[in-house]
Structure 1
Amino acid sequence: MKKLIAITLAIALSGTAGFAAEMTKGKVKKLDEKAGKVTIIHEELKSLDMPAMTMVFRIGDGVDVAKLKVGANIEFSADRVNGKITLTEVK
């Protein structure tokens, strides 16, 4: 029983149990690798309740920067990390 409670608690605290990150389509407009930022023209970000627009994202840890070529069409997910809108995954 203790093991079941521990597993349930771990899943609840992870905040992502059973949910895949929502991917949004966009196009890389500008990349500043040195500053760790990328400007993307993107569709609506439903997970962040944002309309389609052009905006700057921080590049999150583990994101493959090689996929962020200027002019590239990408699918990505973003989230608030330490209060900053951050790119968390790129396809």
Structure 2
Amino acid sequence: MNTLLPIAALSIALLAAAPAQAADPHAGHHAAATKNAEMSHGTVKKVDKAKGTITIAHGPLVNLGMGAMTMSFKAKDAAWLDQVKGGDAIDFVAEDVGGALTITQLQRK
């Protein structure tokens, strides 16, 4: 019986903490995804400074569960729009930021 008391106390403590985690089940998920996201590879097809987008022909985006294709992404850093041009080979990380697929890391090869 003496072992049940500490187990019961631990169970109550865990249940008390659960609502805080349940309030935002994705809390910290995006920050962890950014740090652990593997760079994807692609080729810049077009830069649209007016829209703030870069169109990339890319391989699989593992962190987003997407296959290879060509698509436009918002640029997190507007300076990137001046640093790349059509034909440039790049490594990048794209994430869903507020419902918009956004390049969050970018490196020219």
- Structure whose residues are more often helix by fraction: 2
Segments of 4+ in structure 1 off by > 6 A?
Answer: none
User: Larger relative CO (CA 8 A, sep 6+): 1 or 2?
Assistant: 1
Shift of 1:74: 0.3
- The correspondence for 1:43, drawn from 59, 63, 86, is 59
Shift of 1:62: 6.2
Matches for 1:1-91 after TM superposition, within 5 Å: 13=28, 15-16=31-32, 19-61=35-77, 64-91=80-107
Aligned pairs, how many? 79
* Structure 2, unaligned runs of 5 or more: 1-26
**Equivalents in 2 of 1:64, 1:27: separation in Å?**
14
- Structure whose residues are more often strand by fraction: 1
What code does the residue aligned with 1:45 have? Answer: L
What code does the residue aligned with 1:88 have? Answer: T
**Equivalents in 1 of 2:79, 2:36: separation in Å?**
16
What code does the residue aligned with 2:105 have? Answer: E
**RMSD of equivalent CA atoms:** 2.1
Q: Is the 8 A contact 1:63 1:89 kept in 2?
A: no
* Structure 1, unaligned runs of 5 or more: 1-11
Aligned to 1:85, what secondary structure does the other structure show? strand
- Percent identity between the aligned chains? 41
Shift of 1:36: 0.3
| TM-score, with length taken from structure 1 | 0.75
